[in-house]
Amino acid sequence: MTKRAGGALADPRHCDEAEATTKIEKETPMTQRTKSEEQSFIDATRGWGDILCLWRLCPRTACVRARACKGNVRDCFPRHFKLLPQGVQEWFAGLGQAQNEGASFDEATEWLDAEGPGQALRAWYVAVEQSLPARRTVR
Q: Are residues 63 and 93 in the same domain?
A: no
What backbone phi and psi angles, to 5 degrees, belong to 32? -90, -175
Q: Are residues 72 and 45 in the same domain?
A: yes
Range of the domain at 103: 84-133
Mean of pLDDT values over 110-128 = 90
Q: Are residues 78 and 89 in the same domain?
A: no
Mean of pLDDT values over 98-124 = 90
For the stretch 11-51, pLDDT in tens is 333 334 444 444 444 455 555 556 788 899 999 999 999 99
Task: Domain count for the chain, please give it.
Answer: 2
Whether residue 89 is contained in a domain is answered as yes
Whether residue 53 is contained in a domain is answered as yes
Q: Are residues 72 and 113 in the same domain?
A: no
For the stretch 100-110, pLDDT in tens is 999 998 999 89
